[in-house]
Amino acid sequence: MPSADVVVVGAGLAGLTAAIAAAESGARVHVLAKGHAATHWGPGGIDVAGIPAASTPRDGIHRLAGQIGHPYAFLGDDVAAALDWIRPHLAAGGVEYVGDLDTPLQLVPTSIGGTRRAAILPAGQAAALSPWAVGERLVICGIAGFKDFWPEAIAASLSRERIWEGGNRPASVIPVSVALPGLAARHNLDALEIARRFDDPAWRATAIEAMARAIASVPGSGGRVALPAVLGIREHAAVLAAVQQRLPAAPFEMPLVPPSVPGMRLYEALRAALIRAGGRAQIGEMIQRIEHDGRRVTAVVSAAAARTFTVRTGALVLATGGIAGGGLVAERDGRLLEPILGLPVEAPPADDWLSVDAFDPAGHPLEKAGIRTDAELRPVAADGVSLFDNVRVAGSLLAGQRYVRERCGDGVALTSGWRAARSLTAVPAGHVAEPGSERP
Amino acid sequence: MGELHACDVLVVGGGATGAGVLRDLARRGLRTLLVERGDYGSGTTGRYHGLLHSGGRYVARDPLAARECIAENRILRRIAPASIEDTGGYFVATPDDPDDYVDGFQAACIAADVDCAEIPVTEALRREPALNPGIRRVFKLPDGSLEPWQLIESNIADARAHGSDAWSYQRLVGMERDGDRIVAAMLRDERSGSLTRVTPRFVVSCAGAWAGQIAAMVNVTVTMHPGKGTMLIFNQRMTDTVINRCHASSDGDIMVPVHTVAILGTTEQRVEDPDRYEITREEVAALIRQGEKLFPDLGKMRLLRAYAGVRPLYQPPAEVTAAAMKDGRQVSRAHTVLDHAAMDGVDNFVTIVGGKLTTFRRMAEDTVDMVCAKLGVTEPCTTADEILPNQVPGKTYWLGHRLADHEAEGGGDADLLCECEFVTRPMLDDFLDRHPGCSLDDVRRGTRLGMGPCQGGFCTFRAAGVLGERAGRAGATDVAELADRAILGFLRERFKGTRPIAAGRQLQEQWMIAGVYEGGLGVESLIERETPEASREVVGAQR
């Protein structure tokens, strides 16, 4: 029977971060996940605290940490360290990140013609972060036949002052469309297919020439050009360098509706870092049950095609996500369950889950639902007593955050994953609490 | 004062009834204008369960309604086959249904001229294996699945071919009465705000549950009893046959397969205001409990959304009884044409109330007969005889018809905008060519874009992009506002439908879609917080 020091359930940012950090410190790590996680849906940046009131991520962390029960109340001080730690791992996988906790939060344009607050973005998106100079234009360059990026609609929307909250914005937003070699007559292209084409150096050279000509045909000069986020998967760094060198305006990628190519790059970089650190990951595993002896988890039993798989383990990191990831399951009768360990879920009553308006500025009470932990990320009962000594909870499963609305999900995932691993593998002796003695 | 427009007859309300009345008047040579405050079919017509009644639901308690249903069922199969999926219907006796009702059912059907044959339970279970294996008896009736929007469009097209017209997004804001006559009606364009003054010789109110509000404009009282019916949409067709419980009609006792999904109906609840109602989790739970008597695994199946429609129920004031107020099902589904000349001293005004989608043509015929008698028109009704435009005799639709049609035309590649419902770019372009200035909601109803299992998660954004591209190339200036309305309207509508059923896989998908649009795509930046959206008027979701 295989055995591990740490089993991580979940392969999103939190789970893979925990796994890399644990494997780096010498632990034998095994990641089990039922499938890909939110990385494949998200824009591929690291959103730490993009709340409207905040000037920088650091300011945002400080504001969120002041909320009762927010994970940043006990994680906030570690975000900088976790971010510094992950950067070289991601860079080694070909994904450089630009921006840090003191980078001003900027409104960056999106592929539905809206804006979102960001400060830490992969290099491919980073050109969107600088303020717009006087008279600077933005070209929106679409790809003919690609149905998930509509330059006319995006440009029309971004030409409105209110989308930029009345602040700094491009002087003009101009749409253009380019036919890429061999794709013009194609239908039902998806982002991943185009990205794979860009990985091919010969095709890429012709495609970038066509893009350069199309952009040059637009009135005006310089400025920036927004492209759909399809600039390569494995060869992204090379594609980006070529695009930056050849296009007559500073290029940046706009993330699209799923599947998210920048998210896949982030996932691949994390997975590669895990393998380098000596960890293992198995995707496609449904957890069947957890074996434990009361206060300690001893084994994880999962089911894949036609067989069950049991891993003995010294510890467990639960990074199964929130409602979207399936880490929390809402029953018709109004109960909210954590299906792996059956942990108690902190949640409002079912009648109060959702506000009347989809876009209620106050959000939906259900967004804050999750698992309550102590400061060491051990799950606790309603009375605050920890339930398992060798279990840690990380990521969107943690109660008290609005991971989408507060744009804090990546920061919480990264920091809690990193902290969970350290807590399980390298905790200074003085920090070890007696079972049940610690209260949040 | 606004623009002036003269016509013979003004029809108020663009549901199926109004469209049927428009067509019938036009065919009898009266120049008619139909006005609708929103999109056609956006009221009760577009919020029903999709059932083409055989009449079986009414044979015991309302044989008159049953008789009308089967007659119209046969006519619609002839004149509007493209709007019908010929699913057939089973009335099944579950262990909970009383023997005396079941025993008398077939005789009651025959008495009302409704075709009814008992079939072996094993045969029914072979065709519909998800049915409760404990069912005791099964009757086969000619129920079907009826697509309302295309039906309305065909009726309007026929009316236009006969010299009449229909205007959507034109709200009737007032009528002028001079003694015993209505002399003018004032319309407001819901998009531009501009006003039009119409001077009709006659006014027909087909406003359904809203008929009281229309009549009040000329100081006439029509007391409607709007009855809210809540329905649940499941993400799969657990049945290819319409399934009814064989008992006195009640909540949660009918399942209708509709294109790629299936709809469980309904509840019956009085509401004060047809524009304001809510669907509660308790209602949803009660519907599912009842539905489980037909399909035991229903509780485990994924729900897509809950929605409600408001039935245009009416009883003359003297007949309003305490019993009727308690249970709307006691009110006849048969219709009534109110002659306001005799009742209220307004000579050129009638209101059609009651009825149901299946009998809309008959309702129109009865209404138009009265209007023609008053206007001295002697042309007979021909609406039952002539097939509607855009229909092929005998060609009903079926689940795979779009793909089959596409392949029959040589197939070939085309951008698939809505994977769930097979809506291609050429299909969307064709719809937009025929409906200039329409909203994405109109597109949804007209093409079924976004109505399948993913509920518009991806195709709405694409359709907004197409709208933007077309508008941009046509030099329109409100491209961005169009796209905003499309994307925000879709997300709001989807949220409304999910709210009362928030659980399980559907809540998970709602959360993912919200995460995508609110997270990476920054959809909230599109919201103009100061302007309340018109779509908030109705609290309950659409179908």
Question: Whose CA is closest to A297, among A373, A227, A392?
Answer: A392
Q: Which residues of B touch A52 (CB under 8 A)?
A: none
Q: Is A112 in contact with B479 (Cβ distance < 8 A)? A: no
Taking contacts as CB-CB distances below 8 angstroms, the residues of chain B near A152 are 465, 468-469, 471-473, 479
Compare all CA atoms of chain B with the CA of A38 and give the residue at the minimum distance.
B512
Closest chain B residue to the Cα of A357, Cα to Cα: B492
pLDDT of residue B530: 56
Reported as a pLDDT band with limits 50, 70 and 90, residue B535 is very low
Q: Which residues of A touch B495 (CB under 8 A)?
A: 354, 358
Interface test with A, best of B485, B516, B527, B530 (most A CBs within 10 A): B516
A147 contacts in chain B (CB < 8 Å): 415, 417, 425, 462, 465
- Residues of chain B in contact with residue A260, where contact means CB-CB under 8 angstroms, are 520
Comparing CB atoms, the residue among B416, B467, B520 nearest residue A255 is B520
Structure-token pair, residue A299? 């084994």
**Distance in Å, alpha carbon of B37 to nearest chain A alpha carbon:** 23
DSSP state of B437: T
How many whole angstroms separate alpha carbon B84 and alpha carbon B387?
Answer: 13
Q: Which amino acid is at A68?
A: I
Chain A residue with the nearest C-alpha to that of B278: A356
- B540: pLDDT strictly greater than 70: no
Nearest-CA distance A266 → chain B (Å):
15
Report the distance separating Cα B349 and Cα B339, nearest Å. Answer: 7
Specify the DSSP class assigned to residue A326.
T
CB distance B492–A358 less than 8 Å? yes
pLDDT of residue A431: 41
**Cα(A16)–Cα(A158) distance, integer angstroms:** 36
Two structure tokens written together for B208: 């359904």
Q: What is the pLDDT, as a whole number, of residue A126?
A: 97
How close, in Å, is residue A329 to chain B by CA atoms?
Answer: 6
- Burial class of residue B473, CB neighbours in 10 A (0-12, 13-18, 19+): exposed
Split at pLDDT 50, 70, 90, the class of B497 is confident
Q: How confident is the model at residue B534 (pLDDT cuts 50, 70, 90)?
A: very low
Residues whose CB falls within 8 Å of the CB of residue A71, separated by 6 or more in sequence, listed in order: A398, A399, A400, A401, A412, A416
What pLDDT score does B324 carry?
A: 46
A34, A106, A25: which is closest to A422 by C-alpha?
Answer: A25
pLDDT in tens, B287-317: 999 999 999 999 989 898 899 988 888 877 6
| Torsions phi, psi for A312 (to 5 deg) | -70, 140
Which of the residue ranges A81-90, B26-35, B242-251, B440-449 would you say has the lowest mean pLDDT? B440-449
Alpha-carbon gap: B172 to the closest alpha carbon of chain A (Å): 28
CA B47, B53, B57 angle in degrees (round to 5)? 105
User: Cβ contact (<8 Å) for B521 and A163?
Assistant: no
Tell me how crowded residue B402 is: count the other CB atoms within 10 A of its CB: 18
CA distance B491 to chain A (A): 7
**B345: exposed, middle or buried (Cβ count in 10 Å: 0-12, 13-18, 19+):** middle
In this structure, are residues A163 and A157 in contact, taking their beta carbons and an 8 Å threshold? yes
Q: Is the CB of A43 less than 8 angstroms away from the CB of B512?
A: no
Selecting from B461, B502, B508 the residue whose C-beta is nearest the C-beta of A354 gives B502
Q: What is the pLDDT of residue B372?
A: 97
Starting at the edge strand found earlier in the chain, the sheet holding B84-85 runs: B51-52, B144-146, B84-85
Query: Do A224 and A138 contact (CB within 8 A), yes or no?
Result: yes
Per residue, what are the HEC states of A83-147? HHHHHHHHHHCCCCEECCCCCCCEEEECCCCCEEEECCEEHHHHHHCCCCCCCCEEEEEEECCEC
Cβ contact (<8 Å) for B523 and A153? no
For B514, the closest chain A residue by CA position comes to: A404
CA B416 to chain A, closest CA, distance in angstroms equals 6
Q: Which of A287-296, B407-416, B465-474 has the lowest mean pLDDT?
A: B407-416
User: How far is A24 from chain B, CA to nearest CA, in Å?
Assistant: 31
Q: Residue A212 forms beta bridges with which residues?
A: none
Cβ burial of A1 (10 Å; 0-12, 13-18, 19+) is exposed
Interchain contact, B413 vs A330, CB within 8 Å: no
Provide the residue type at A173 as one letter.
V
Mean pLDDT score, B215-226: 92
Chain B: nearest CA to A156, how far in angstroms? 5
Contact list, A160 vs chain B (CB under 8 Å): 480
* Helix (H) / strand (E) containing B494: helix B479-498
CB contact under 8 A, B516 and A162: no
pLDDT tens for each residue of A399-438:
999 999 999 999 999 999 999 999 998 644 434 334 333 3
Contact between A361 and B413 using a beta-carbon 8 Å cutoff? no
Q: Taking CB atoms and an 8 Å limit, are B502 and A353 in contact across chains?
A: yes
CA distance B20 to B362: 9
Q: Taking the CB of residue A276, how many other CB atoms lie within 10 A of it?
A: 14
Residues A22-78 have pLDDT tens digits of 999 999 999 999 999 989 999 999 999 999 999 999 999 999 999 999 999 999 999
Predicted confidence band of residue A332 (pLDDT cuts 50, 70, 90): confident
Q: Answer yes or no: are the C-beta atoms of B225 and B371 closer than 8 Å.
A: no
- Rounded mean pLDDT of B212-217? 96
The pLDDT score that the predictor gives to residue B2 is 56
pLDDT for B375 beyond 60 = yes
A135-177: pLDDT as tens digits: 999 999 999 989 999 999 999 999 999 999 999 999 999 999 9
Distance CA A83, CA A424 (A): 19
Closest CA to B204 of B356, B70, B22: B22
Average pLDDT over residues B122-138: 97
Q: Among all residues of chain B, which has the CA nearest to that of A407?
A: B519
The structural domains of chain A, ordered by start, are 3-92+265-431 (3.50.50.60), 111-254 (no CATH)
Spell out which residues of chain A touch residue B488, defining contact as CB-CB under 8 Å.
359
Residue A265, pLDDT > 50, answer yes
pLDDT of residue A435: 39
**Rounded CA separation B213/B208 (Å):** 10
- Mean pLDDT to the nearest integer, A304-323: 92
Nearest CA in chain B to A110: B521
Which residue in B288, B511, B530 has the most chain A C-beta atoms within 10 A of its own C-beta, making it the best mutation to test that interface? B511
3-state secondary structure of B298: helix
* Residue of A147, A155, A162 with shortest CB distance to B462: A147
Angle between helices A79-92 and A13-24 (to 10 degrees): 80
Residues near B129 by beta carbon (within 8 Å), at least 6 away in sequence: none
Contacts of A111 in chain B (CB under 8 A): 521
Identify the bridge partners of residue B158 per DSSP, sorted by sequence position.
none
DSSP A204: H
Cβ atoms B269, B328 nearer than 8 A: yes
A&B contacts, CB < 8 Å:
168
CA Rg, chain A, in Å?
23
Pairing of strands A97-98, A286-292: unpaired
Using CB atoms, pick whichever of A150, A330, A361 lies closest to residue B469: A150
Residue B469 is nearest to which of A152, A260, A333, comparing CB atoms? A152
Please report the beta strands in B317-396, taking only residues with DSSP state E, as ranges in sequence order: 335-339, 349-354
Question: How close, in Å, is residue B230 to chain A by CA atoms?
Answer: 17
Amino acid B232: pLDDT: 95
Q: Name which of A27, A41, A37, A47 is nearest A274 in CA terms.
A: A27
Q: For residue A324, which residues of chain B lie inside 8 Å, CB to CB?
A: 508, 511-512, 515
pLDDT of residue A322: 95
Q: Say if strands B137-141 and B89-93 run parallel, antiparallel, or are unpaired.
A: antiparallel
For residue B384, pLDDT beyond 60: yes
Mean pLDDT of B463-471: 85
CA distance A400 to chain B (A): 16
Report, as an integer, the average pLDDT of A79-103: 97
Q: How far is B303 from chain A (nearest CA, A)?
A: 10
Distance between CA atoms of residues A120 and A87, nearest Å: 11
**Residue A325 per-residue DSSP state:** T
Residue B273 CA, chain-centre distance (Å), reads 18
| Residue B531: predicted pLDDT | 46
DSSP per-residue letters across B202-230: EEEE--GGGHHHHHHTTT----B--EEEE
Phi first, then psi: what are they for A354, rounded to 5°?
A: -120, 140
- B278 CA: distance to closest CA in chain A (Å): 10
Contact between A41 and B487 using a beta-carbon 8 Å cutoff: no
Nearest to B468 among A153, A354, A359 (CB): A153
B516/A257 touch (CB, cutoff 8 Å), yes or no: yes
| B505, containing H or E segment | helix B504-514
B483/A323 CB distance under 8 A: no
Query: Cα–Cα distance between A270 and A16 in angstroms, integer?
Result: 6
Tell whether ipTM is more than 0.90. Answer: yes
CA angle B11, B14, B17 (to 5 degrees): 80
Which chain B residue has the Cα nearest residue A151? B469
- Looking up tokens 């809210």 gives B228
Contact B415 A331 (CB under 8 A): no
pLDDT of residue A186: 81
Q: Tell if the CB–CB gap between A116 and B525 is shorter than 8 Å.
A: yes
Residues from chain B that touch A156, judged by Cβ atoms under 8 A, are 468, 471-472, 479-480, 483
Backbone angles phi, psi at A289, to 5 degrees: -160, 165
Domains of chain B as residue ranges with CATH: 3-44+149-225+317-375 (3.50.50.60), 84-145+228-309 (3.30.9.10), 401-536 (no CATH)
- Partners of A121 on chain B (C-beta within 8 Å) are none
- All residues of chain A having their beta carbon less than 8 Å from the beta carbon of residue B511 are 322-324
